[in-house]
Amino acid sequence: MLLYLDKRRSYLVRVERERRVHTHKGFIDLTGLIGREFGARIHSNKGVEFVAFKPTIRDYIFKISRRTQIIYPKDISLIVFFSGIGPGSRVVEGGTGAGALTAALANYVRPSGKVYSYEIRREFLEVAAENLRRTGLIDHVELKNRDLTEGIEERDVDAVILDMATPWLVVPHAYGALRGSGTFVSFSPTVDQAVKTVEALRQNGFAGIETFESMFRGMQIERGRTRPETLMTGHTGYITVARKALR
């Protein structure tokens, strides 16, 4: 259950009898939510109204990302879209990190697809596993404590999706793992990472190579004084996409 106050403050909770959630706006007794429909309004002991939403994949990702700040909804959505994946796709991902992107990929390859997610840092894998259990998506993911720069075990996958420091080292392995026409997607904060990745793609038989960035700006909507928001994230990273062409 997502107890929603406003777009910056919401609480992901499990509804149980006699459980209380403490917020800056007072506490909420979750007993009152048992048996109620999603979308129900509930008040804290200080009389502040919250809405009890059913969490979506976006909410889960927002919660996971907040702790690690690695990747943003604007980027996750483009990565998913440009990867061309959908229900049934088999996807190799790395690094897993806290599992935010993993959760998004798992959500879209359900029910018959699979995400093979590589991560070398064991402590992150545990965090990711917990996050994926919470979102109910763990069955669609195989977490692997292995180094993607040393090789990919899967073959004929539909997409290889990277959010790691040295994606160019994975490019030759990605070529081997992808089916013909399969997609490669990489997210990197620096220009130099994008350049090295594009060069590796060009040297390794990929075609349709493109790099881009997106910017996201909120609007304050109020009749008579509508304006874009002052605060904006200026940069997260560049996304590079490509497809495997046969040699």
Segment 32 to 71, residues that bind a second copy, using CB under 8 A: 37-41, 51-54, 56-59
Q: Does 74 bind a second copy (CB under 8 A)?
A: yes
Among residues 47 and 226, whose Cβ is nearest to a second copy? 226
Among 14, 18, 24, 246, binds a second copy (CB under 8 A): 246
Nearest approach, Cβ of 65 to a second copy (angstroms)? Answer: 13
Among 22, 153, 199, 203, binds a second copy (CB under 8 A): 199
Q: Which of 240, 157, 158 is nearest to 197 (CA)?
A: 240
Which range in 13-21, 22-30, 119-127, 232-240 contacts a second copy by CB under 8 A? Answer: 232-240
Which range in 14-22, 76-84, 121-129, 146-154 contacts a second copy by CB under 8 A? Answer: 76-84
**In whole angstroms, what is the distance from residue 110 CA to residue 122 CA?**
25
Among 183, 184, 185, 204, binds a second copy (CB under 8 A): 183
CB 38 within 8 A of CB 47: no
Which range in 26-34, 82-90, 126-134, 147-155 contacts a second copy by CB under 8 A? Answer: 82-90
Backbone angles phi, psi at 93, to 5 degrees: -130, 150
Burial letters 137-147, b for 16+ CB under 10 A, else e: bbebbebbeee
Q: Does 8 bind a second copy (CB under 8 A)?
A: no
**In whole angstroms, what is the distance from residue 103 CA to residue 125 CA?**
13
DSSP 131-165: HHHHHT-GGGEEEE-S-GGG-----SEEEEEE-SS
| Single-letter residue type at 157 | V
Residues 161-180 that bind a second copy (CB under 8 A): 179-180
Residues 84-103 that bind a second copy (CB under 8 A): 84, 86-88
Task: Name the burial class of residue 154, with classes exposed (0-12), middle (13-18) and buried (19+) by CB atoms within 10 angstroms of its CB.
Answer: middle
**In whole angstroms, what is the distance from residue 90 CA to residue 111 CA?**
11
Nearest approach, Cβ of 55 to a second copy (angstroms)? Answer: 9
Which range in 18-26, 124-132, 147-155, 229-237 contacts a second copy by CB under 8 A? Answer: 229-237
Which range in 26-34, 94-102, 128-136, 202-210 contacts a second copy by CB under 8 A? Answer: 202-210
Among 182, 186, 187, 204, binds a second copy (CB under 8 A): 182
Residues in contact with a second copy, total (CB under 8 A)? 81
Among 110, 114, 144, 173, binds a second copy (CB under 8 A): 110
CB 223 within 8 A of CB 173: no
**In whole angstroms, what is the distance from residue 210 CA to residue 189 CA?**
16
